[in-house]
């Protein structure tokens, strides 16, 4: 129970990696604010599941692509629980598209969630976080590998690593650590829908197992719980001298 007594916010927490992170932090003793964008049902189902296991959690609606909703989310969490110690910014969206097909609307949609969403939820949390507070943003292996037609998403995730690097000294003055995780392919809806695009277009009909073998030394996808374990480490006292870093959790990217 390394996080006993801590209050944590996890964005995009009703499914996929966010759900695993929320579950892991709650199981370590944190009270967890489960952020969802629109559909309250899966978020409330997760809250019920966690409560039934004796863990503390509550659902909070906010679209992180809207800076005012990021602020309202943090205000509501602090009103409800009295303070906040940990922010995990996990919400994100995928995009594949050829250069000539990318529209200003695509750019706005992807960057408003993956970049502005992570920046403004960080700004909102930083207004409340005490010394010892922890922030984890979500980058991706995609920030440092070339994939066909992945420019928008990869650029948005590369921005996240630059943000944590540059926010580290500013937040460090207040004793707050900020890092990013860079997952590789992880078994979620996002990977199910987009996994096959992570290879040369001529090879996209290969069986998924062949693609997996060619992409990670461990020759399998990550499970969301394996990503959550790294986040639990980063927000714990065991990571007290780590800030400004982007940690790869990619099974040994090939
Ligand atoms: N899966 C991978 O292979 C992989 C690899 C590297 C990095 N990542 C990153 O890891 C994070 C989680 O990915 P995942 O695979 O778990 O994705 P996912 O299964 O598609 O889930 C994404 C989550 O983000 C939420 N979300 C999206 N836009 C939001 C918004 N505007 N406001 C609040 N919540 C929003 C979604 O809520 P709704 O249910 O409302 O849509 C959902 O809960 C993302 O940042 C992703 O880019 C994933």
Best mutation site among 35, 92, 199 for ligand 1 pocket (most ligand atoms within 8 Å of CB):
92
pLDDT averaged per 10 residues, the chain (length 254): 96 98 98 98 98 98 98 98 98 98 98 98 98 98 95 98 98 98 94 88 85 88 97 97 98 92
Query: 200 in a domain, yes or no?
Result: yes
* CA dist., res. 243 & res. 254, Å (int): 26
Query: 27 in a domain, yes or no?
Result: yes
Query: 2 in a domain, yes or no?
Result: no
* CA dist., res. 89 & res. 76, Å (int): 16
Q: Report the CATH number at residue 140.
A: 3.40.50.720
Query: How distant, in Å, are the alpha carbons of 42, 143, 186 from that of 249?
Result: 26, 13, 10
**What pLDDT score was predicted for residue 204?**
86
**What pLDDT score was predicted for residue 13?**
98
Strand partners, 182: 248
**What pLDDT score was predicted for residue 196?**
86
Query: 231 in a domain, yes or no?
Result: yes
Tally of domains within the chain? 1
Query: 254 in a domain, yes or no?
Result: no
* CA dist., res. 151 & res. 148, Å (int): 8
Query: 1 in a domain, yes or no?
Result: no
- For the whole model, what pTM was predicted? 0.98
N- to C-terminal Cα separation, the chain: 35
Distance 91 CA to ligand 1 centre (A): 4
**What pLDDT score was predicted for residue 213?**
79
* CA dist., res. 161 & res. 164, Å (int): 5
Query: 26 in a domain, yes or no?
Result: yes
Best mutation site among 16, 34, 147, 222 for ligand 1 pocket (most ligand atoms within 8 Å of CB):
16
Query: 225 in a domain, yes or no?
Result: yes
Domain that holds residue 27: 7-249
User: For the chain, what is the radius of gyration of the CA atoms?
Assistant: 18
Catalogue the active-site residues.
139-140, 153, 157
Neighbours of 78 (CB within 10 A): 18
Residues contacting ligand 1 via CB (< 6 Å): 11-12, 14-18, 35-39, 63-65, 90-93, 113, 117, 138, 140-141, 183, 185-186, 188-191
């Amino acid at each position: 129970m390394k996080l006993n007594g801590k209050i944590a916010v996890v964005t995009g927490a009703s499914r996929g990696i966010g759900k695993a992170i929320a579950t892991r932090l709650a199981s370590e003793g944190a009270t967890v604010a489960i952020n969802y964008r629109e559909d309250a049902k899966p978020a409330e189902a997760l809250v019920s599941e966690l409560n039934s296991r004796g863990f503390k959690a509550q659902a909070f609606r906010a679209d992180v692509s809207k800076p005012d909703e990021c602020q309202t989310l943090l205000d509501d969490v602090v009103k409800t629980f009295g303070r906040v110690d940990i922010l995990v910014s996990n919400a994100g969206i995928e995009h594949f598209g050829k250069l000539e097909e990318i529209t200003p609307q695509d750019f706005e949609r992807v960057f408003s969630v993956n970049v502005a969403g992570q920046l403004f939820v960080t700004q909102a949390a930083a207004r409340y976080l005490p010394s010892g507070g922890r922030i984890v943003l979500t980058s991706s292996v995609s920030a440092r590998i070339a994939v066909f037609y992945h420019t928008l998403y990869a650029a948005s995730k590369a921005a996240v690593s630059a943000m944590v690097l540059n926010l580290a000294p500013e937040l460090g003055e207040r004793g707050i650590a900020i890092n990013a995780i860079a997952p590789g392919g992880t078994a979620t809806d996002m990977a199910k829908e987009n996994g096959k695009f992570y290879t040369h277009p001529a090879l996209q009909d290969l069986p998924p197992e062949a693609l997996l073998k060619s992409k990670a030394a461990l020759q399998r996808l990550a499970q969301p719980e394996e990503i959550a374990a790294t986040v639990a480490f980063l927000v714990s006292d065991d990571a007290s001298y780590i800030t400004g870093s982007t940690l790869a959790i990619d099974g040994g990217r090939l």
